[in-house]
Amino acid sequence: MENKELIKQVTEKALKWLTPAYDAETQAEVKRLLDNEDKTELIDCFYKDLEFGTGGLRGIMGAGTNRMNIYTVGAATQGLSNYLNECFKDKEEISVVVGHDCRNNSDKFAKISADIFSANGIKVYLFDDLRPTPEVSFAIRHFGCQSGINITASHNPREYNGYKAYWDDGAQVLAPHDTAIIDEVNKVTVENIKFNGNQALIRIIGEDVDKIYLDKVHSISIDPEVIKRQKNLNIVYTPLHGAGRALIPASLKEWGFENVNCVPEQMVKDGNFPTVVSPNPENAEALSMAIALAKKMDADIVMASDPDADRVGMACKDDKGAWVLINGNQTCLIFLYYIIKNRIAMGKMQPNDYIVKTIVTTELIKAVADRNKIEMRDCYTGFKWIAREIRLSEGKQQYIGGGEESYGFLAEDFVRDKDAVSACSLLAEICAWAKDQKKTLYDVLMDIYVEYGYSKETTVNVVKPGKSGADEIKAMMDNFRANPPKEIGGSAVCLIKDYETLETTDHKGNVTALDMPESSNVLQYFTEDGTKISVRPSGTEPKIKFYIEVKGEMGCPKCYTAADAEAEEKVVMVRKSLGI
């Protein structure tokens, strides 16, 4: 009965898409969905409207309210325009930045969005071609805009596209604006969308902004002298067909690196991502061509950016000369270790400097910060929360770096989203600094483990697509709350943090409040042996994520293999305890 009611509801929604307000191609696709006896696809396309999550609007491209198309993009832009016109009604001129990545339909969605903004009397700074997400964030601040969007689905598979919405501080939209924008979007009917743009209000931008942005990125270099000594550092880089190709090689050159080798097949802009299964630098497969080139050239470092160039992935040679991937937790750890260590060494560290990480990112970063007496803040997953910390302390304290386990890092405050352009440039500097000491990036990581203790982090993604998957994910979270584990991996749970109720419960049952800006559907378990488990549904993809961190000790760099094997055994036990 429930299923019949759902089919009835989605059918009613779909039939509205067969009116003349929608183009012929869209109507034909909706008709195909309605005519299909199997209603699964129809339900997936119409059972809900796309909503802003931790990464904004994101979905599979196609017809329907739960798909990315000119009408859902149009409604989002019209709703955002309405909200901007209300919020800034006393302003003489409201302006926005519009950017896009390499994905199929990205340039089309960007131009349509620019038309809609301008039709609503809003000035638009439209990038002439694909650009990195962080440059869009920078441009919003640079031009003094009230908002901005980037059309991208980040590192998602090729069938996806997305819509990242930003506020006047260059950060992704937070409450109350996120829900208020959705309220406006939900009021929009297709007839309300002003598709006919006012070209007089659209200004094309490009290289002029690139130069200013790249100069600012160069200003964060901590030790330019070490780059001069190691200017021939052998770098292999791939943009995975995406926006990094526009700026990352140029940034590396501006920093002084003269031996940058790009993977030629992946320097081609292509939304089908023909050389990879998925354009995600977190995946080993995505870096395979770059590593093959690195082996051929005996490179020092491999770096990759995702399609919108906000995430960075990397690989280096281990102590045996084999190429290994550096995971997201290790990436964030290495960046912050280098920034802290070298700012102190060069007398650049100030008493009010601070760093930020997300709650699911490795606790080793806190160990580094504590020992060096640097303030470290924890925040929710999603760079908009790191940006919030920067905004709250602007003019009072100096942000010097922050990141999260999902391969995002931000080394500066003039951008308010993760930035692979500055991250790749700083990574090259770290490698140059290591080489100057006859070390590799791998050696730096081993030094950190010896000094601060070993930590192994594993993320397990349980994918549950569609409406039924969303229901399963909810049931899993409900079950964890109703029946919290007493022990995990053979060690007693001594602390539980529930970010939905904003309560911490210790092993004696004592409850204290969690100081966070709002509630979030995240659970964390801490055990007596130092293990940390975080559980949360993804805000951008149909999956529930388990973040596992187990602790160990390393007496020397050569002890890594044994420490890792012992930690892996513990991870297996943890997974068994959690049933994943």
Of 397, 375, 399, 373, give the one whose Cα is nearest residue 385: 399
Of 335, 355, 382, 326, give the one whose Cα is nearest residue 154: 382
Question: 175 is written with which tokens?
Answer: 């409450």
Question: 312 is written with which tokens?
Answer: 């960075």
Alpha-carbon distances of 509 from 403, 486, 531, rounded to whole Å: 33, 12, 19
- For residue 118, indicate whether it is catalytic: no
Q: Is 180 exposed, middle or buried (0-12, 13-18, 19+ CB in 10 A)?
A: middle
The alpha carbon dihedral of 537, 538, 539, 540 has a sign of: negative
Q: Quote the CA–CA distance of 472 and 537 in Å, as a whole number.
A: 11
Beta bridge partners of 174: none
Cβ contacts of residue 445 below 8 Å, gap of 6+? 326, 330, 333, 334
Q: Quote the CA–CA distance of 382 and 363 in Å, as a whole number.
A: 17
Four-point Cα dihedral 15, 19, 22, 26, nearest 10: 50
Four-point Cα dihedral 346, 352, 358, 359, nearest 10: 120
Catalytic residue among 81, 154, 305, 577: 154
Residues with a known catalytic role = 154
